[in-house]
Structure 1
Amino acid sequence: MERISIPLQLRVVQSQPGLVEQNGKWSTGLCECWGDMDDCCCAFWCLPLFVFKTNRAAGGCPCLPLLDCVGCGTAASLAMRAAVRERYGIEGDVCSDCFYGCCCYPLSWCQISREIKRQAAVRANAISLSSSKTHYTPLVDLDHVHLI
């Protein structure tokens, strides 16, 4: 019986798909609500629901938005804005998060929502591109081989 030699090809993942160069800036400005009118309208007509929805999409504690409702300042806004900045490498500090949370509360939540959506879309696009480039080679070439 003849032994078949098969070349082994290994693919090494050197970086995770979907990581985005952010350049330390938000993908949209604070007042760029026209880019996502659904979120803008939802935030305008029912801000508590929008805050809860955005907090949930970001993976935050479900009870965190309740702190804003009971008058504990803007704890949820501050925490979520800081978490999103940290996760995506966006420049800023606690003072700017507090300022935007206090003075531009609905706009800040809309910006957080747009950033989460953009990062998710970029990650999904990168994953689909990397999976479409994958070419599998068969383990054994069975041409002209009799199994029995």
Structure 2
Amino acid sequence: MERVSIPLQLRVVQSQPCQAEQDDKWSTGLCECWGDMDDCCCAFWCLPLFVFKTNRAAGGCPCLPLLDCVGCGTPASLAMRAAVRERYGIEGDVCSDCFYGCCCYPLSWCQISREINKRRAAVQAHASSLSSSKAHYTQLVDQDDVHLI
């Protein structure tokens, strides 16, 4: 039986898929609500729903925002702000998280939401640019008589 040589085309990965470029600053300021008026209006008119939605988008526990209703500070805001800072490598500390959570509660949640949305959009854009690049794949060929030694 005659062997047929099938050309094999390999796709070389030139860059690893990764999260958005990590910057050590928040992408927007605390009071920059004009970029996402839908979220800011939702936060203004129905803050508990907005907090729940943002918490869920960040992958937090659904019951975490209920702790803010109990009193004694704002543990959900503090925890979520710290988690987002840690995830995206944003500078800051617990004192600033506590200050923003207590003094600027709705604005803090809007900033967290904007950061999550912006980073997620950047990752999706990066992933779609990788998938849209032309890649050639060869189909596997049934080779019954071929044996590996």
Q: Distance in 1 between matches of 2:40 and 2:129?
A: 31
- Contact conserved, 1:68 with 1:76, CA < 8 A, in 2? yes
CA offset digits 1:32-70 (Å, max 9, x no partner): 001100111111111111111100110001110000012
Aligned to 1:90: 90
TM-score when normalising by structure 2: 0.86
- Contact conserved, 1:6 with 1:139, CA < 8 A, in 2? no
- Contact conserved, 2:9 with 2:138, CA < 8 A, in 1? no
Change (3 A) 1:53 1:140: closer
Q: Distance in 1 between matches of 2:38 and 2:128?
A: 26
Aligned to 2:76: 76
Aligned to 2:25: 25
Aligned to 2:101: 101
- How far does residue 15 in structure 1 lie from its aligned partner after superposition? 2.1
Aligned to 2:136: 136
- Size of the aligned set, in residue pairs, is 140
Q: Distance in 1 between matches of 2:35 and 2:65?
A: 24
- How far does residue 73 in structure 1 lie from its aligned partner after superposition? 1.3
Change (3 A) 1:75 1:9: same
Q: Distance in 1 between matches of 2:22 and 2:140?
A: 43
Is residue 116 from structure 1 mapped to residue 110 from structure 2 by the alignment? no
Three-state SS of the structure 2 residue aligned to 1:77 is helix
CA-atom RMSD in angstroms: 1.8
TM-score when normalising by structure 1: 0.87
How do 1:2-81 residues align onto structure 2 when only pairs under 5 Å count?
A: 2-12=3-13, 14-17=15-18, 19-81=19-81
| Structure 2 unaligned residues grouped into runs of 5+ | 142-149
Deviates more, 1:132-141 or 1:64-73: 132-141
Three-state SS of the structure 1 residue aligned to 2:65 is helix
Q: Distance in 1 between matches of 2:105 and 2:123?
A: 27
- How far does residue 72 in structure 1 lie from its aligned partner after superposition? 3.3
Identity of aligned residues (%): 70
Over 3 Å off, 4+ runs: none
- Contact conserved, 2:26 with 2:90, CA < 8 A, in 1? yes
